[in-house]
Amino acid sequence: MHRINGKKIRAFAKLLNAKTVYPETAVYLEAIQLFNAAIHKKPAAIIYPRDEAEVFKVLCFCRDQSIELAVNGGCHSVDGYALSDGGLVLDLSLLTQMQIDPIQKTAILGAGVSPGALEKACAPFKLMAVHGEFPSVGFIGQTLNGGYSLLSRCYGMGCDNLISVKVVTPTEGLLTVDKDHHPDLFWALCGGGGNFGVVTEIQIRLHPQRYLCTGFLAYPLNEAKSIIPKWREYMLNQAPNELSISAVFATLPTGDKGLLLATMFCGEETLGKKILHDLRQFGTTLMDNLMPRSMIETLELYVPITPAGLMHHWRSDFFIAPTDEMLNIILQAFETVPSHRTLVFFESHGGAIGHIAPEATAYPLRQYPFNFMISGTWEVSQSSADCIRWTDELYQKVKPYLSGRAYLNYIGAEGAERIKRSYGQNYYRLQKIKQHYDPRNILHLNQNIAP
Ligand SMILES: Cc1cc2nc3c(=O)[nH]c(=O)nc-3n(C[C@H](O)[C@H](O)[C@H](O)COP(=O)(O)OP(=O)(O)OC[C@H]3O[C@@H](n4cnc5c(N)ncnc54)[C@H](O)[C@@H]3O)c2cc1C
């Protein structure tokens, strides 16, 4: 791929007549701001398409001129896939169309819509969607790689809630795909990431907001050895699908290190109240803000934990269950965690996620009850080297207890083998579909499936 080809890009953009931002303009720095402040790339231009025709023209131009193309759906990927260094960026933020159907309980949303914006539109109808707890992540970017939510044990992954997808592919242009139309491509879009085309719009299933109770219970870190086994047994053997609890090693607002149970219950009120009462007996609670909340209030709860402007280096893998040895390693490491922003997660999967066969959608990682994640996160003023080293060292120590298969939304660029192993048998079908829709790998700034 060529890098900067300024003249040709400017001539093309002038003809296209879509909003375009160039390096010399005042808004350029804002346009290239990534969620991960550790990554800096300088594209030659950022184009903001208004419709599918413009998206297709940009795809064809990049193909014909061998210019690298990045797709920015929300700029949250930890390795900064939303930008190309020297190439073109297709920024989808102007595609903000939204339509809620309260009778069918469905929503149509454009590629510029975030979970926060969608929930605001759903709230008057007491409906909600399946997405992560962070309001500004690109809804579509998250869903294409699977889309994990604290609601996933109840309603499946985000991709399990897709009804149809409008996608502009490099070889066939705009296609509207669902289970009956281009079923292979629809299958691939349910977990195969941004490999097959630029998704401009999706239709998804919504769910009624029942008794939704969300928040955190915080315990002293020295109680983790008694709480984690209780939590593990509870999640494996007793918890209904309506309940999700992630155990998070964190630095508490007081500055003390602690264990958080990040909890969401969505179901029948009497059952919810009983479960939450039982949960409160797990240990000595230092903080308890678990209470009925709307989905919008829930999203707001997560923003201050990881505000924008921080640096990130993440490692992650699925596993069967935390063992005592694994817990000891984490507790020992956490004593010297270099940044109060860094979190270590045991995320609860299972429930409805596992009710779908691994080969039924491209997203195959359905049999693991837990996901392990180190969110190595630090302030711009701190030493990146210390935080990266700490994250990698802990990951290496815990690795023998992990599956070697990753949730691709939670890792950076770890190489082709890692992607292949994470998709398992589904990789070969994905590769065939990639060969059909993007044989020249124009869409390669992603967890790439090489054609
Ligand atoms: C603070 C934070 C919290 C998070 N929480 C969760 C969570 O709870 N659950 C979860 O599953 N993930 C979570 N993630 C991970 C997140 O889902 C991924 O980083 C995802 O890639 C972000 O999508 P984006 O569009 O914002 O990113 P971008 O960096 O803009 O895009 C990343 C890649 O996604 C693809 N892409 C995006 N939009 C499109 C599109 N419309 N068409 C085609 N390809 C597209 C492209 O390949 C692009 O290169 C979180 C990330 C952060 C930073």
With H, G, I as helix, E, B as strand and everything else as coil, classify residue 46: strand
Q: Would residue 450 count as lying in a domain?
A: no
Residue 430 has pLDDT above 70, yes or no: yes
63 and 197 within one domain? no
Give the domain extent around 24: 6-91
Per residue in 296-335, pLDDT (tens digit) is 999 999 999 999 999 999 999 999 999 999 999 999 999 9
- On whether both 379 and 275 belong to a single domain, the answer is yes
Pair (85, 115) in one structural domain = no
Q: Measured between alpha carbons, how far is 420 from 411 in angstroms, rounded to an integer?
A: 14
Q: What does the pLDDT read at residue 2? A: 45
Q: What is the pLDDT of residues 206-235, one digit of tens each?
A: 999 999 999 999 999 999 999 999 999 999
Beta strands 19-21 and 45-48, pairing class: antiparallel
| pLDDT tens-place string over residues 79-92 | 999 999 999 999 99
Alpha carbon of 76 to ligand 1 centroid (Å): 5
pTM (whole model) above 0.85: yes
Q: Based on the domain organization, do 293 and 279 belong to the same domain? A: yes
Q: For 327-372, what is each residue's pLDDT tens digit?
A: 999 999 999 999 999 999 999 999 999 999 999 999 999 999 999 9
142 ligand 1 Cβ < 6 A: yes
Please indicate whether residue 196, judged by its CB atom, sits closer than 6 Å to ligand 1. no
Q: How far is the CA of 220 from the centre of ligand 1 (A)?
A: 33
pLDDT in tens, 37-54: 999 999 999 999 999 999
Nearest residue by C-alpha to atom 21 in ligand 1: 77
Using alpha carbons only, how large is the chain's radius of gyration in Å? Answer: 22
137 C-beta closer than 6 A to ligand 1: yes
229 and 356 within one domain: yes
Q: What angle do CA 197, 145, 83 make, to 5 degrees?
A: 60
Distance 138 CA to ligand 1 centre (A): 5
> Using CA of residue 81, residue 83, residue 85, residue 86, what is the dihedral sign?
positive
pLDDT digits (tens, 9 = 90+) for 89-147: 999 999 999 999 999 999 999 999 999 999 999 999 999 999 999 999 999 999 999 99
State how many domains the chain has.
3
Q: Let me know if residue 279 belongs to a domain.
A: yes
Torsion of CA 191, 194, 197, 203, to 10 degrees: 50
Strands 45-48 and 88-91: parallel
Q: Which residues pair with 164 in a beta bridge?
A: 203
Give the nearest ligand 1 atom to 136 CA.
26
Contacts of 122 (CB under 8 A, 6+ apart): 100, 107, 128, 129, 206, 295
Alpha-helix runs per DSSP H in 156-291: 183-189, 224-233, 269-279
39 in a structural domain: yes
Atom of ligand 1 nearest to the CA of 197: 43
Q: pLDDT band for position 1 (50/70/90)?
A: very low
Q: Which two tokens stand for residue 190?
A: 């349910």
Same domain, 224 and 359: yes
Does the Cβ of 39 fall within 6 Å of ligand 1? no
Tell me the pLDDT tens digit for each residue of 388-404: 999 999 999 999 999 99
409 lines ligand 1 (CB under 6 A): yes
Residue-level pLDDT at 5: 63
What is the best residue among 77, 81, 152, 422 to mutate for testing ligand 1's pocket, by most ligand atoms within 8 Å of CB? 77
Residue with CA closest to ligand 1 atom 51? 76
**Position 422 in a domain:** no
- How far apart are the CA of 332 and the centre of ligand 1, in A? 32
CATH number for the domain including 53? 3.30.43.10
Other Cβ atoms closer than 10 A to 381:
6
Give the domain-ending residue among 91, 108, 141. Answer: 91
DSSP codes, 329-396 = HHHHHHTT-S-TT-EEEEEE--GGGGGS-TTTSS----S-SEEEEEEEEE-TTS-HHHHHHHHHHHHH
The Cα 418–Cα 423 span in angstroms is: 9
Instruction: Quote the tokens at residue 250.
Output: 């964190």
Tell how far the Cα of 147 is from the centroid of ligand 1, in angstroms.
9
E strand or H helix that includes residue 154: helix 152-155
Is 272 a pocket residue for ligand 1 (Cβ < 6 Å)?
no
Å from CA of 82 to ligand 1 middle: 9
Beta-bridged to residue 46, according to DSSP, are 21, 89
The residue out of 62, 91, 120 marking a domain boundary is 91
| Residue with CA closest to ligand 1 atom 7 | 132
Residue 391 belongs to a domain = yes
**Torsion sign over Cα 293, 295, 300, 303:** positive
pLDDT over 70 percentage in the chain: 99
CATH number, domain with residue 239? 3.40.462.20
Report the candidate in 189, 201, 158, 190 with the shortest Cα–Cα distance to residue 55.
201
Share of the chain above pLDDT 90, in %: 98
**Interatomic CA distance for residues 44 and 71, integer angstroms:** 14
Query: Where is the domain boundary, 76, 91, 106?
Result: 91
Say yes or no: CB of residue 76 within 6 Å of ligand 1: yes
CA dihedral over 354, 358, 364, 369, signed as positive or negative:
positive
Q: Which amino acid is at 181?
A: H
Where do runs of H (alpha helix) occur along 19-89? 28-31, 52-65
Q: Which of 150, 195, 171 is nearest to 423 (CA)?
A: 195
**Ligand 1 binding pocket includes 111 (Cβ within 6 Å):** yes
| Six token digits for residue 255 | 């500055």
User: Does residue 442 form part of some domain?
Assistant: no
Tokens of 150: 């604290």
Please tell me the distance from the alpha carbon of residue 429 to that of residue 359, in angstroms, as a whole number.
10
345, amino acid identity? F
Please report, in angstroms and rounded to a whole number, the separation of the first and last CA atoms in the chain: 16
- Read off the pLDDT band of 251 (50, 70, 90): very high
